[in-house]
Structure 1
C-alpha cells in the first residue's frame, strides 16, 4: 500500500472539516458524533480518528480554519469613516446570513456550542476582531470630526456591536423575503449609524 503524502493527509483533513461544518451546523455540538462526521465525509471512523482525537478537536480545527481565513474588511478610501463603518456592519451581517463556510461556523459558535469553554474562546476571539475593527473606524470618525471628540467611546462601540446583532436578528428571524432582507439591513444600519452623529 502506498504511503500517504502530506498532500493526501491535508486533503483528508479538509474533507473532514468540510463535513464537520455541515454536521455541526445542522445538529450542534452535543448531538454530533464522530460517526456523523465520518459518514458525511465519506470516510471511515478510523480515518477521522487518525487525524483528530475527538469531536472537540474537530470543532476547534474547523472554527480556527474559517476564522483565520476570513477576508479582512477593505476600507474604501473615498468614503467617510462612518460610511465605511456602515459597509463593515453590512459585511458582518452578510457573514451571518449568506450560506458559506463562515456563516455555518459562526452560526455554530453562537447557537450550537452548548457553552463549551474551548469553543466559547473561539467565539470571543471572533468578537475581539470585530470590536477592534469597529473601534478603528470610530477613531477615524472622531479624527475626521464626524463624531465629537468628547463622545463616550466605550458606549458607542457597544452601540455599533448592538446594531450588527440587532439587525441580524431582525433579518434572520424576521418574515422577510430574500430581496427584502438586504434592503432592510442597509436601511437599518444607516439609520442606526446616523444616530451616532446627532447631538443629544
Structure 2
C-alpha cells in the first residue's frame, strides 16, 4: 500500500480511509493515470504513419519516464499476479492493451487505404508486430541500459525502422489469392 500511496501522492492513511480495499485503490490509480495518456488527434490530413509514430513515441515517454503512468504500469505488469482477487486489475490492463491495438489497427488500415502501406498488408499481423516492437522498445528503455546514450532518438529510430518494415517486409503480406 505504501507504493500505491506514494504513486498517488497521498498518505497511506488517506488510501486506507477512502477505499474499501486495495483493488479499489489500484483501479482508481489506473483510472487517474490512464486519463493522463495523450492520444494524438487522428486528423484526416495527417499521414496515418505519422500519427502512429507520434502516438507510439508519446506513449513510450509516458510509460518510461517517471510519473504516474509509469508507476501504475509497473504495478500492473510486475507486481500484479494472476489471481481471482486481481481480476479487475487484469481486465483494466487488458482494456488498455486492446485500446492500443484498436488504435494501431485503425491507423494501419488508414495507411493501407491511402496507399502509405501495401494493399496486401496483413493489417492484423502488422498491428501485432508493431505493438510487440513497441513493447520491446519500452522494455529496453525501462529495464536495461542498452539505450543509455541518446535513448529517445535511438528509440524513435527503432520505431521508425519498424514502421518502415510495414512497407517492405514480405512476411507481413497476405498470401496471394
Aligned equivalents of 2:92 and 2:15: distance in 1?
Answer: 22
1:197 paired with 2:167, answer yes
1:91 paired with 2:61, answer no
Aligned equivalents of 2:46 and 2:119: distance in 1?
Answer: 20
Distance apart, 1:98 and its partner CA: 1.0
Aligned equivalents of 1:155 and 1:43: distance in 2?
Answer: 44
Q: Which residue in 1 is equivalent to 2:118?
A: 148
Structure 1: tracts of 5 or more residues without a match: 1-15, 24-36
The alignment's TM-score, normalised by the length of structure 1, stands at 0.73
Is the 2:147–2:154 Cα contact (8 Å) retained in structure 1? no
SS at match of 1:41: coil
Matches within 5 A, 1:25-174: 41-42=10-11, 44=13, 48-75=15-42, 79-115=46-82, 116-174=86-144
Distance apart, 1:193 and its partner CA: 1.0
Aligned equivalents of 1:163 and 1:19: distance in 2?
Answer: 29
Is the 2:53–2:160 Cα contact (8 Å) retained in structure 1? yes
Distance apart, 1:21 and its partner CA: 5.5
Give aligned pairs, total: 167
The alignment's TM-score, normalised by the length of structure 2, stands at 0.81
Aligned equivalents of 1:73 and 1:162: distance in 2?
Answer: 20
Give the RMSD, CA atoms, in angstroms.
Answer: 2.6
The higher radius of gyration belongs to: 1
Higher helix share: 1
